[in-house]
């Protein structure tokens, strides 16, 4: 996972609030990313950036500052532009998961990937979006669609991490350590259960059919394995033994 994560960079363009730069550093660092590129930040370095980066001071210290977006994107061959609004550019619009899937595919081919975020007030300009291969819109509500910059960074970093973890996860084990009980073993268990309910006088004159059907459904749903059935048989056997003792004259 680390190899792939190193191919991603987060590019913040014309950021006004240094606090957002610090928060963005923290957001990416918690998700396993380290590369932050700043294109013409209004104020940087700044104590508010340091304060909000908290434990991600390493990311902030390593952040490079660029004069142009082209410099910030140098070496990247797949670029996603994050925008809250549709712009007048003819750019494919993806949701975060589609964007992440495409970005991951590019990284897996050995490409470097950039995620670009705009200024807090104005977002990404058309000519900035024009440098992107696709636009990603986080599906916020229509009447208030703009997230805080660092929070938009967090959403994307999180989605990327989830996708990277899923890629790295070993396939789910197929074999259970104990085989599930087969139909015959389940049938034995239901007989034992029915006999025990009689022994403890559970039915008290009522017809047992309905309750037995319900209990069948309950245990079928649980799909017990053989070890679990052995435990249940043990409990039933003890209940029968106690019922036998209770029936003994003089007890
Ligand atoms: N008024 C600006 C909002 C900028 S918010 C606009 O309409 O774009 C600062 C940055 O955060 C944006 O440029 C974008 O990169 C990111 N951002 C905020 N909300 C977003 C959303 N819903 N989807 C995608 N990116 C978003």
Assess whether pLDDT exceeds 90 at residue 72.
Answer: yes
Rg (CA), the chain: 31
**Ligand 1 lined by 140 (C-beta under 6 Å):** yes
State the closest ligand 1 atom to the C-alpha of 85, by its place in the atom list counted from 1. Answer: 7
> What are 139-194's pLDDT values in tens digits?
999 999 999 999 999 999 999 999 999 988 877 666 557 888 888 899 999 999 99
**Ligand 1 lined by 16 (C-beta under 6 Å):** no
Residue in 10, 17, 121, 152 to alter for ligand 1 test, most ligand atoms within 8 A of Cβ: 152
> What angle in degrees, to the nearest 10, is found between the helix axes of 209-222 and 183-199?
140
With bands split at pLDDT 50, 70 and 90, how would you rate the model's confidence at 39?
very high
Cβ(118)–Cβ(89) under 8 Å? no
Averaged pLDDT score across all residues of the chain: 93
Residue in 16, 23, 80, 83 to alter for ligand 1 test, most ligand atoms within 8 A of Cβ: 83
CA 21 to centroid of ligand 1, rounded, Å: 14
Q: Where are the alpha helices (DSSP H) in the chain?
A: 2-5, 18-30, 47-53, 57-62, 69-72, 96-108, 126-129, 149-168, 183-199, 209-222, 226-247
User: CA-CA distance, 152 to 135, in Å (whole number)?
Assistant: 13
In this structure, the residue with its CA closest to atom 8 of ligand 1 is 123
Specify the pTM: 0.75
**Ligand 1 lined by 124 (C-beta under 6 Å):** yes
Q: Is the model more confident about 220 or about 136?
A: 136
Cβ(113)–Cβ(78) under 8 Å? yes
CA angle 188-189-195, nearest 5°? Answer: 90
**Ligand 1 lined by 120 (C-beta under 6 Å):** yes
């Amino acid at each position: 996972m680390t190899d792939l994560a190193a191919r991603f960079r987060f590019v913040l363009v014309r950021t006004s609030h240094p606090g957002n730069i610090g928060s963005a550093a923290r957001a990416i660092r918690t998700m396993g990313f380290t590369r932050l590129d700043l294109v013409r930040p209004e104020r940087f370095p700044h104590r508010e950036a340091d304060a909000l980066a908290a434990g991600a001071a390493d990311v902030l210290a390593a952040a490079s500052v660029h004069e142009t977006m082209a410099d910030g994107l140098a070496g990247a061959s797949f670029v996603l532009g994050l925008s809250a609004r549709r712009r007048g550019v003819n750019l494919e619009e993806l949701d975060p998961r589609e964007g992440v899937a495409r970005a991951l595919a590019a990284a897996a081919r050995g490409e470097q990937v950039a995620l670009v975020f705009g200024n807090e007030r104005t977002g990404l300009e058309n000519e900035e979006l024009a440098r992107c291969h696709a636009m990603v819109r986080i599906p916020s509500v229509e009447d208030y669609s703009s997230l805080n910059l660092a929070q938009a960074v967090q959403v994307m970093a999180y989605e990327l991490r989830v996708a990277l973890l899923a890629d790295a996860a070993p396939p789910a084990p197929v074999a259970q350590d104990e085989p599930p009980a087969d139909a015959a073993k389940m049938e034995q268990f239901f007989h034992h259960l029915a006999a025990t309910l009689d022994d403890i006088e559970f039915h008290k004159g009522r017809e047992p059919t309905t309750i037995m059907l319900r209990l069948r459904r309950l245990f079928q749903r649980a799909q017990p394995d053989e070890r679990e059935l052995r435990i249940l048989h043990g409990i039933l056997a003890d209940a029968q033994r106690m019922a036998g003792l209770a029936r003994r004259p003089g007890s």
